Chains A and B, each alone.
Chain A
Amino acid sequence: MRLRSTDLGVTFPSPGGPVHALRGVRFETRENEFLCIVGPSGCGKTTLLRVVAGIQSPHEGAVEHIPSPSDRNRDILLVSQERNLFPWMTVIDNAAFGLEMQGVPRGRRRKLAHEILARMGFEGREMAWPHELSLGMKQRVAVARCFLSDPAVMLMDEPFAALDCLRRLELQQELLRLWEESPKTVIFVTHDVEEAILLSDRVLVLSRQPGRVVSEFRVPFPRPRTAGITMTDEFLDLKRTVSGALGLSFRKEAACR
């Protein structure tokens, strides 16, 4: 499924007057594109994802869904930074939750969940409770759950931000692997420019409040992409350019909070 938006605007009331989280944000995705949105922390990125997911209604504009023949469904699923797993379900039940909501019978959904979790290294820990897991493992399960539900669009809100560097690299590679096996449109939000370039086909830079798309960069590197390419000259050049655009958006607008 492709997405196309008209100028989106979201305003929140606040004691100091209305806060424009987003204003005039327009974007469009291509078929099965991995799109990254970078921007300074705190302003608008999460709100944008929530609007696309249908959780938050925009005060201006709308997001159009353009279905493709290859879509299994019209789901738009969101993976966030934290509070991702239900504490009262085991790992496997959490992973199978999407399938459960789709009406897949218990035996089958547990089997599918077991398969994907085994591939992600969860053999034997499926009956663990979320509170027994580290953050990295919880995020793994959240990503697994999302892929398992096979949505038309996947939204990810800085899912690896709270992880340490090594975990982050691991999960990035796992994400790319899963995505390549099961291509779909992904919108991945991050404040890490390197992560954005490594993962995506295209990077959008969002400004500080009020959030607007200030620049767009195509990422020309071929896939599959290993972590090693982050050291190449071309990569660093692009990183410099995007960081520059980000840096500009740091200085231009007024502080967020």
Chain B
Amino acid sequence: MPVTSAWMTRLRDAVFSWWLPVAIIGTWQASASLNLISPLFFPAPSLILQSGWQMILNGEWQSQVGATLHRMLIGAALGLSTGFACGLLMGMLSPVRKTLEPVVSVLNSTPKLAVMPLLLLFLGVGETARLVPIALTAFVTLAMQTLDAVRGVDPGFVEMARNYGAGRSALLRRVYFPACLPQVFTGLRLTAGRALVITISVELLGSPDGLGRMIWMAWQTFATEKLYIGIFSTAMLGVLFHDGLARLEARLVPWGVKPRGR
């Protein structure tokens, strides 16, 4: 039986991952060059790349991406910190959980974007109104993940720590917090995805800058290349966040690595 070397396995996996996107883009480019598809709806990938390159050269791409990132990270930071604290408290203190869980649950089921008109009424058309849905999304996602994580902490570990003399503070620092980390990271990954989506949505609705606004304006002005650039940039951001968080998790939570089968 032939021996498969490591590089051959990597090559094979790479082919699996890449053949489909390459085929799609290849077909698209070919169809565009042969004028088989409308240049208004499906500009050739070469044109999109050209346009994108222009945007990078004159700084427009960076500034739009930067604006979206800025908005998303601030909103997410607000939501994540409060969400984590809330989830932790709910998980450890029963009265807190009984009080807050229904509220969080309702918020979870409410489309955060639907809250926008109400916010615009209270807060006016400003950055705060845009940050709130993002923060809320992050808050609710992480609060529920953290609550779940805390409840999932094996009571055997809590008993063991107590047996060795751990007080409340030590229990929190040395048992609950690290035990929750793997699931909290899952929450972070979920939040990153959802926060990005809601940031773009908020920008679509009305924002002076950002990828969402760029996509909207491109639609309004039939600048189809920019439309695609906006969408691809958003997707790329999503992938970067996901990948980055996975790597961070591998670093910070080495014990959370579950052996995966092929």
Contact = CB atoms under 8 A, between A and B. Distances in A.
Contacts of A131: 255, 257
A55 B159 CA distance: 7
Interface string A78-116: 101001101111000000011011100000000000000
Nearest to B175: A86
Contacts, number: 52
A80 B155 CA distance: 14
Contact of A102 (B156, B161, B165, B257): B165
B165 A75 contact: yes
Interface string B165-180: 1100010001100110
B157 A83 contact: yes
Q: Is the interface of B mostly helix, strand, loop or mixed?
A: helix
B254 A77 contact: no
Contact of B255 (A54, A55, A78, A88): A88
B120 interface: no
A235 interface: no
A198 B174 CA distance: 37
A179 interface: no
Contacts of B159: 55
Interface in B149-166: 154, 156-157, 159-166
B163 A53 contact: yes
A149 B163 CA distance: 11
B179 A88 contact: yes
B254 A84 contact: no
B231 interface: no
Given A87-B255, A88-B255, A129-B254, A101 B164 contact: yes
A130 B164 contact: no
A77 B157 contact: no
B89 interface: no
A78 B164 CA distance: 9
A84 B160 contact: yes
A131 B256 CA distance: 9
Contacts of A84: 160
Contact of A88 (B160, B163, B165, B178): B178
Nearest to B179: A88
Interface residues of B, number: 21
Q: Is the interface of A mostly helix, strand, loop or mixed?
A: loop
Given A87-B255, A130-B255, A101 B165 contact: yes
B55 interface: no
Contact of B163 (A55, A87, A89): A55
Nearest to A53: B163
B157 A101 contact: no
Contact of B156 (A53, A76, A83, A129): A83
B154, B156, B165, B178 — which one has the most chain A CB atoms within 10 A of its CB? B165
Contacts of A88: 178-179, 181, 253, 255
Contacts of B175: 86
A98 B154 contact: no
A76 B164 CA distance: 8
Interface in B174-192: 174-175, 178-179, 181
Nearest to A54: B163
Contacts of A54: 163
A116 B167 CA distance: 26
Contact of A101 (B170, B178, B254, B257): B170
Interface in B207-258: 253-255, 257
Contacts of B179: 88
Contacts of B174: 86, 89, 97, 100
B157, B163, B165, B254 — which one has the most chain A CB atoms within 10 A of its CB? B163
Contacts of A97: 161, 164, 174
Interface in A139-197: 149
A185 B106 CA distance: 55
B184 to A, nearest CB: 12
A86 B165 contact: no
Interface in B12-49: none
Contacts of A87: 255
Contacts of B160: 78, 80, 83-84, 86
Contacts of B154: 83
Contacts of A102: 165
Which 10 pairs, one residue from A and one from B, show the smallest C-beta to C-beta distance?
A88-B178, A101-B165, A87-B255, A83-B156, A101-B164, A98-B164, A129-B255, A88-B255, A101-B166, A78-B163
Interface of B: 154, 156-157, 159-166, 170, 174-175, 178-179, 181, 253-255, 257
6 contacts: A53-B163, A55-B159, A75-B164, A80-B160, A86-B178, A129-B254
Given A55-B159, A129-B255, A131-B257, 7 more contacts: A76-B163, A78-B163, A83-B156, A83-B157, A88-B178, A97-B174, A129-B254
